[in-house]
Chain A
Amino acid sequence: GQNIDQPTEMTATEGAIVQINCTYQTSGFNGLFWYQQHAGEAPTFLSYNVLDGLEEKGRFSSFLSRSKGYSYLLLKELQMKDSASYLCAVRDPGVGGGNKLTFGTGTQLKVEL
């Protein structure tokens, strides 16, 4: 079966660093994605990992350990506009090699002053 777990919500302070964890158990794996979704809007792509290790992209970094079924998203120098839901998603080859995404329920991050 498919199971992706991430915390429901987190709170952090402006300027700080926050780490959002994600664990997964899926029948197939062809990469892990992090998306940001503001309320009422479409998910927007943040990062992608397919090999173990850390990928850095400005204020955002993402880490993957395939053997542990674990990833995290690290956000540095938090800004108020970072308040959003962060979605962990695993790409599954699926039927016909379609590479569908299986999503966690998302972590609602609230950035406070």
Chain B
Amino acid sequence: NAGVMQNPRHLVRRRGQEARLRCSPMKGHSHVYWYRQLPEEGLKFMVYLQKENIIDESGMPKERFSAEFPKEGPSILRIQQVVRGDSAAYFCASSPDLPLQGETQYFGPGTRLLVL
């Protein structure tokens, strides 16, 4: 059973370009969470999605950031017109459809975005 997959692992963009980060959850998981980790800071929740639905986007910046989780294919976090402050590690996590009380979220390896 493969773990959470993220690609690319490293992404370099110039200011003003678009960044697309992909996440494939573990098999049997339909709950996806995106977190951002800025240098020397903790992980910050961005958005929670289920298939074809955004459930909680309270941590998403109001502009330039969007997320989707289509019926088929991976979840995508899109950052338009990137700025240097977007440079961070972006982690995706997934959890089971029917989580047990102690069921945790399983994290992918992350995408490290560098904006030049």
A99 CB to nearest B CB, Å: 7
Interface range for A: 20 to 34
Whether B58 contacts A43 by the Cβ 8 Å rule is no
With beta carbons under 8 angstroms apart, the residue of B48, B105, B106 that contacts A94 is B48
Whether A100 contacts B41 by the Cβ 8 Å rule is no
A-B pairs with CB below 8 Å: how many? 63
B interface residues, how many (CB within 8 angstroms): 27
Residues of A within 8 A of B44 (CB): 103
Whether B107 contacts A44 by the Cβ 8 Å rule is yes
Residues of B within 8 A of A12 (CB): none
Q: Which single residue of chain A is at the shortest CB-CB distance from B95?
A: A99
With beta carbons under 8 angstroms apart, the residue of A48, A103, A104 that contacts B104 is A48
**CB-based closest 8 A-B pairs:** A95-B56, A105-B42, A96-B55, A98-B48, A42-B107, A103-B43, A103-B42, A48-B102
Residues of B within 8 A of A (CB): 4, 31, 33, 35, 41-45, 48, 55-56, 58-59, 91, 93, 95, 99, 101-102, 104-110
